[in-house]
Amino acid sequence: MLEYWNPLIERMPVDELEKMQEKKLKHLVNYVYQHSDFYKKRFDEAGVRPEDIQTLDDLKKLPFTYKSDLRDTYPTGMFCVPNEQLVRFHVSSGTTGKPTVVGYTKNDIDGWTTSLARAMTSIGVGRGDIIQVGYGYGLFTGGLGAHYGAEEIGATVLPTSSGNTERQIELIQDLNSSVIACTPSYFLFMNEVAEKANVSIENDTDLRVGIFGAEPWSEEMRARIEQATGIKAYDIYGTSELSGPLFTECQYQDGIHIWADQFLIEVIDPETGEQLKEGERGELVITTLFKEALPLIRYRIGDITVINKDPCKCGRTHPRIMRVLGRADDMLIVRGINVFPGQIESVLMTIPEVGEHFMIVVDRVNELDVMKVQIEMTDQAFSDKVNDIIDLEKKVASALKSVLNISVKVELVESGTIPRSMGKAKRVTDNRNL
């Protein structure tokens, strides 16, 4: 049976939704212009005044906001409210540069929670479910975000955070967790540890749903996870700058619903900044419609995707974005060609002999980029004939080359030697000093 958290809004006719967006957008531009020196300056420089924005079509007149703006104004230079109105800070890890700080008012937390409550309901999770939250708690948004969403829908939260994998498996069994929320790579690692302890996730636990995200993962990886563990695996999407994890697919697993009353999305040509038509692949740009502390106008999140506004089988009218295989931050440029780790994952997961773990190593040898993909030898793939192994390396290399258009050296390594991650998987070692 289909259930909705906010049925009226989630099934609202598109024209009404757009009217609501228009109203909120007009309010937003006035709000940021008055409350943030950063936005006032940015608008003035672009020669736009709040009153120039009257319809959704006027959105394209507004200047973009970038992650670098958050870094340049570190820590709170873009905030629109004084600190005493904040109820929380989250701080990004800063792995790809200076960290970014996001502040939340009470309403910001509520909006974030509502978004996840709708999302969790849309995958059939609710009261009676025991949700084991294996995302990190703390400055990272994953743990607390999922926690609040889960409590909101009346589920029982088991806040394990990440790590202590044996304990996670024990608790899944002892407390009958039915839902697990963590990174897909961490779940695969959990499954590995469970198997070693002769625990079958499928037969010995009540787990039925996984809410996986915080790192890009492919459709092929989903098939592997569902097949190996018997659970339904759902993609969750978001980013700390926008709040944290926010959106998921619905039960039909056909794109991620973006709540249009809360966020306005567009897809642009990353080179020219021009808006693209529905169905065209481009860079996702998001405008927050409810946030008070740190609203973002036309934020260049850096993910490449396609917007789908077709009505979904689930009855929700909100637009969907198709699976995101990589964020611009994750993109590698190898010999001038753009490579997303997600593309590599998606190729590897179609080859049955290849396990779930891999590492991309990029070096520069004699002024030339050399990309190597390390994969682990598996029991199924192992042959004691050298030629069989070399053939497997060649098979994987040629499958990768046909998709990436560059030569890749494939190296088989011993099983268990590629580092396992409890949070976001590290898929790339770039030894070039770029």
Q: Using CB under 8 A, pick the residue from 173, 413, 421, 426 that binds other proteins.
A: 413
With CB under 8 A as the contact rule, the residue among 81, 389, 397, 403 that binds other proteins is: 389
Choice between 172 and 194, CB closer to other proteins: 194
Q: How far is the CB of 389 from other proteins (least distance, A)?
A: 7
Residue from 279, 390, 398, 431 in contact with other proteins (CB under 8 A):
390
Would you tell me how many other CB atoms lie within 10 Å of the CB of residue 81?
17
Q: Which residues pair with 133 in a beta bridge?
A: 181
Record the tokens describing residue 425, joined without a space.
């998987």
Stretch that binds other proteins, among 50-58, 91-99, 243-251, 378-386 (CB under 8 A): 378-386
3-state DSSP call for residue 202? Answer: helix
Backbone angles phi, psi at 421, to 5 degrees: -115, 145
**Cα–Cα distance for residue pair 253/232, rounded to 1 Å:** 10
The single residue among 62, 102, 373, 377 that binds other proteins, judged by CB under 8 A, is: 377
Quick check: 334 binds other proteins (CB under 8 A)? no
Among residues 127 and 385, whose Cβ is nearest to other proteins? 385
Choices 35-43, 270-278, 335-343, 411-419 (CB under 8 A): range interacting with other proteins: 411-419
Residues with Cβ within 8 Å of residue 100, at least 6 apart in sequence: 67, 70, 71, 74, 91, 92, 94, 240, 241
Phi/psi-derived region of residue 269, left when phi > 0, alpha when psi is between -120 and 50, beta in every other case = beta
Closer to other proteins by CB, 329 or 382: give it.
Answer: 382
For other proteins, the closer of residues 163 and 416 by Cβ is 416
Report in angstroms how near the CB of residue 340 gets to other proteins at its nearest: 25
Q: Which is nearer to other proteins, 293 or 377 (CB)?
A: 377
386 contacts other proteins (rule: CB under 8 A): yes
| Residue in this structure with the two tokens 């009226």, named with its chain if needed | 8
Residues in region 170-229 near other proteins by CB under 8 A? none
What are the DSSP E strand ranges found in 56-128?
A: 86-91, 101-105
Which pair of tokens denotes residue 89?
């800070």
Residue 83 in the binding site for other proteins (CB under 8 A): no
**Does residue 411 sit in helix, strand or coil?**
strand
Closest to 185 measured CA to CA, from 160, 210, 209: 210
Measured in degrees and rounded to the nearest 5, phi and psi for residue 103 equal: -105, 150
**Minimum separation from the CB atom of position 313 to other proteins (A):** 43
The contact set with other proteins (CB under 8 A) reads: 377-379, 382-386, 389-390, 411-417
